[in-house]
Structure 1
Amino acid sequence: MTMKPKARKFRIRKTGGASTTGPAEAGAAQAADMARSDTPGPSPRSEVAAAGQVAMKHPGPAATEDGFGTTPFPGSAAHDRLEAESAGRESAQQAEDAGAAQAPPPASPPSGGTPTAEQELAAIRAEGLTGRQLRMARRIAQKHGLAPSSDFDAVRLLRHRGIDPFARGGKLELVVDTGTQPSAAPAGTQSQSTGQALAPMSRQTTPAVPQPVGVPQPLGADERAAEIMKVQRDIARRRRKRLILLATRLSFFVLLPTLLVAFYFYRVATPMYATHTEFIIQKAESGASSGGGGLGGLLGGSGFATVQESITVQAFLESREAMLRLEDELGFREHFSQEAIDPLNRIGPDATDEDVYDTYLRHLRIGYDPTEGLIRMEVIAADPEVSQSYSQALIGFAEERVDRMSQRLRADQMSGARENFEDAEARALEAQQRVLNLQEQRGVLSTEAEVSTVFGQIQNFELQLQEERLRLAELLSVPQPNASRVEVAERNIARLEALITDLRSSLTNTGTGEISLARIQSELIIAQADLETRQMILAQALQQMESARIEANRQTLYLSVGVFPIAPDAPAYPRAFENTLLAFLVFSGIYLLISMTVSILREQVSS
């Protein structure tokens, strides 16, 4: 923030380089000046022009301005010599003034003397100055304590004071108004141009020149040095005042809040203990997934395979549900409502769930690292054992949530296998019931047994038929067979053939209200084949259900703890030095922004 100094401004125009001559040459220059002041000559303007021409003919080497002009440094031998010479000239001048006072005054001023005020005003009007230049001259005259009667008079008075009101920058020029013709300067010296300031420590005097009444006299060397010292003291005083105000503002807006923050963290804040835990969520590698290739096989064992699950677990631990479960099981609100906890971390007795949730988020720090797949959790509490118990409880909550995330997949797998098994079992029971109904309806337990029995009977009867035919052939082989025995044999043969024919027809032909054994056998074979198929399907469904049960019993997702929670033995918070330094930087930045804003607004308003 900058403030404009409220002090008088002394502007000095540098019209020529500083002389680099020695003390002797400086003394010669002073003597030449005194000689010029004693010798009558033209007006100051002609003197200024002549001095400018001499300065152009004899330019001096450029040097750094030391504040004393061409005057020797006070205390040096050259300065002492100049002091002695100036003292002698002053005594001679006083004697001449005394003699002139005794002589009678002249009757009229010489024609070639100093011009009058009316002549000077006429010359100024003839210069053709603009209204802006005249107004500027009046303002400068009023600033220097002059009382001009008009704008032209202000120009005249300023020129008598050695001030050029139209110079660029408004620099102060103190001109020796002697009204005499300068004498030739000694060789090796540099003429002083118009507007060059007199040496502050020189004691040379100028001849008495009649000045208009009411015109202030030019400042002497001592007066000018006193004014400069006064301005410097005023500037130093204002600078000290600004520094004191700046230190006061910094103390009030930066140091005092920083001290309050440091007092809180060092004296008031309750020590907090932090328990660190790291865990990872992994996915079980089944046979199908491990044998398959592609992108799934590449990402199966990395942390990218469980990114969504890890982010879900992190969001759950930071949710209100986890906070409410921790409150119900371990009394989170009660722990942070103790009187030993500082007011900023304490939960009030009438605090809402939102206030408790804000405190829960401030004392739980959890983050997920996608590159490693780790979830890092830090639980903060006022007691190390409580911090450890909170961390263990939150890990248990996370494991339950991971199990729930894979529970639906396991339930879908089991439900499908169970439905297939139940359907196969029902169809097998239907096939079994159909075989049983056929056996009950047809009265045949086994068609193979019935068929083998019938074929056995037919075979037995055919043997008997063969025997009867042999007996008949034996009876007919004699010349005179016994007719009764032949008749009996023929009847037995006819009966056996009819019986065998009935048995054979019973296998294939259907009678009145009867079903052939072949049909019964076909129905039973079809029913038994269907039963066997259903039993095979039932066995496969049972195997699938067992496989699904085994797969479901295996955890598809599970939480693996890498760093178990251990109770700390030293408090981790508050970090007093870091927090105090951060508060100092924050307050300093706020003060800097406000100061810059106020300074910019003040500059805009003033402009």
Structure 2
Amino acid sequence: MKMSKAKTIKSIILKTDQRRLARGKATLIKLGVFVLLPTLTAFIYYMFIASNFYESEAQFKVHTGSGKALNNDLTAEAYILSREALTRLENDFNFIASYQSKKVDFFNRIPEHANFEDAYQYYLKLVKISFDQTSGIATLKIKAPTPYKAKIYADALLKYSDDIILKLADKFRNEQLTFAKQELNNAESRLAVARSSLLKLEDSDHTPLNSQTISNLIPVKISLEKELAQTKIKYNKLKANLKTTSPQLVALQHKINYLISSIEQENKKIADAKTNRENPPTQSFLLEQILAERDFAEESYRSAINFLENSRNELLRQYHYLAIIVPPNMPFSAIYPNVFTGTLTVFSLTLALFGIFSLLIAIIREHVRI
């Protein structure tokens, strides 16, 4: 009886050991299939199949003509990452075809029948740009299948950025100068009209009558016109640095509209007073009115000349250009693929996933037994 029990216990222990051994072998097989095999495949790919990519790096800074850096100007960075930049690279260097070449491995090349949007998404993976808010220095990095192409692509992107900065600066300068010249032309026209009216009055013959009503309206109109001119100048100066939707510009625009409306009302009052038969203007008052208009026109003319000169000087100080701090380098070795890092990454991911799924399966089996 005792011998029978001992044999039974021994048989149970043997079966348990066999099950454990079988589970251990199964685990090793699964580990080999789901972890070691992908890791070996990754090693072979990175070591013998993956195409080399070289990275050229450059640093630049956006300056004004006075030498002051624009720390918050991201125009160049935005343009480098734009579709327009890719289009220019394609037109100048047949950029997309370089990454569709059979020399680039299947997993890293642009598909032969890819559209422009697919190529652009691929381009964003090749080009990296970072911006240091403290120093104002931007760092550009671009990857290419050869060292030479990496360098010429980086050189081209810097040139394109410089072109767009100069283009925007020229556009802004022309707009500001056009506005200043328009103000000067308006002032010249107003002065010419005032002088012409004065000459006509000297040759005219009017009957002296009361002019008290109009004389009260003229100073109000002139004051409003002066305030309007000053507000317009202030608006255009702020417009150079602020968006049109900013609270300051919106408030100034409302003020300009209000002043224009007020001047129109004053002009209407003066016109009504002039046509009033019971109280027509006297020749002396008309002379006073025209002289006041001439004085204001002369003052506006001088202000317009000063505004034009100040605008020119200010635009020279605000002139932008791209300064290359570190020119694009010719890379000597490929940064991709990194065999060790790539293989280790695949091993770590597959091992982590294997552990998670094994734990989940063990929990499910335990619940089934219960």
The alignment's TM-score, normalised by the length of structure 1, stands at 0.42
2:167 counterpart of 1:384: no
2:90 counterpart of 1:327: yes
Q: Distance in 1 between matches of 2:335 and 2:88?
A: 26
Q: Distance in 1 between matches of 2:198 and 2:117?
A: 71
On the 8 A contact 2:62/2:70 being kept in 1, the answer is no
Q: CA deviation at 1:593?
A: 1.5
On the 8 A contact 1:275/1:387 being kept in 2, the answer is yes
2:338 counterpart of 1:555: no
1:266 aligns to what SS in structure 2? helix
Larger-gyration structure (1/2): 1
Q: CA deviation at 1:246?
A: 1.0
Deviation by residue 1:300-357 (Cα, 9 ceiling, x = unmatched)? 9784xx1xx32x5434433333222322222211111112111111223211123212
On the 8 A contact 2:65/2:316 being kept in 1, the answer is no
- Bigger relative contact order (CA 8 A; separation at least 6): 2
2:369 counterpart of 1:606: yes
2:307 aligns to what SS in structure 1? helix
Counterpart mapping for 1:100-499 below 5 A: 218-220=1-3, 230-282=11-63, 303=71, 306=72, 309-310=73-74, 313-403=76-166, 409-431=172-194, 433=196
Deviation by residue 1:211-238 (Cα, 9 ceiling, x = unmatched)? xxxxxxx224xx6666555554444433
Deviation by residue 1:475-522 (Cα, 9 ceiling, x = unmatched)? xxxxxxxxxxxxxxxxxxxxxxxxxxxxxxxxxxxxxxxxxxxxxxxx
Q: Which residue of 2 aligns with 1:595?
A: 358
2:349 counterpart of 1:566: no
5+ long unaligned stretches in structure 2: 206-285
| Pair 409,225 (structure 1): closer, same or farther in 2 beyond 3 Å | same
Deviation by residue 1:405-459 (Cα, 9 ceiling, x = unmatched)? 55665455323321221012223333555677789999xxxxxxxxxxxxxxxxx
Deviation by residue 1:341-399 (Cα, 9 ceiling, x = unmatched)? 11111223211123212221221122233344432221000111211121122223333
2:58 aligns to what SS in structure 1? strand
Q: Distance in 2 between matches of 1:526 and 1:367?
A: 63
The alignment's TM-score, normalised by the length of structure 2, stands at 0.66
Q: Which residue of 2 aligns with 1:492?
A: none
Superposition CA RMSD, Å? 3.6
Same amino acid, percent of matched pairs: 27
On the 8 A contact 1:269/1:342 being kept in 2, the answer is yes
| Pair 269,539 (structure 1): closer, same or farther in 2 beyond 3 Å | same
Q: Distance in 2 between matches of 1:552 and 1:371?
A: 25
| Pair 533,358 (structure 1): closer, same or farther in 2 beyond 3 Å | closer
Q: Distance in 1 between matches of 2:27 and 2:287?
A: 114
On the 8 A contact 2:57/2:139 being kept in 1, the answer is yes
Q: CA deviation at 1:578?
A: 0.3
Q: Which residue of 2 aligns with 1:514?
A: none
Q: Distance in 2 between matches of 1:264 and 1:314?
A: 34
Q: Distance in 2 between matches of 1:361 and 1:419?
A: 44
5+ long unaligned stretches in structure 1: 1-217, 287-299, 443-522
Q: Distance in 1 between matches of 2:200 and 2:311?
A: 36
1:339 aligns to what SS in structure 2? coil
| Aligned AA (2:116) | D
Q: Distance in 2 between matches of 1:302 and 1:548?
A: 20
| Aligned AA (2:363) | I
Q: Distance in 2 between matches of 1:259 and 1:368?
A: 39
Deviation by residue 1:518-575 (Cα, 9 ceiling, x = unmatched)? xxxxx99999998787566534422321221232244355433322211112111111
Q: CA deviation at 1:259?
A: 0.9
Q: Distance in 2 between matches of 1:415 and 1:428?
A: 20
| Pair 600,404 (structure 1): closer, same or farther in 2 beyond 3 Å | farther
On the 8 A contact 1:403/1:555 being kept in 2, the answer is no
On the 8 A contact 2:154/2:328 being kept in 1, the answer is yes
Flag the structure with higher helix content: 2
Q: Structure 1 stretch 562-571 or stretch 412-421: which is displaced more?
A: 412-421
| Aligned AA (2:330) | A
Number of residues of Structure 1 aligned to a counterpart in Structure 2: 290
Q: Which residue of 2 aligns with 1:576?
A: 339
2:346 aligns to what SS in structure 1? helix
Q: Distance in 2 between matches of 1:526 and 1:370?
A: 57
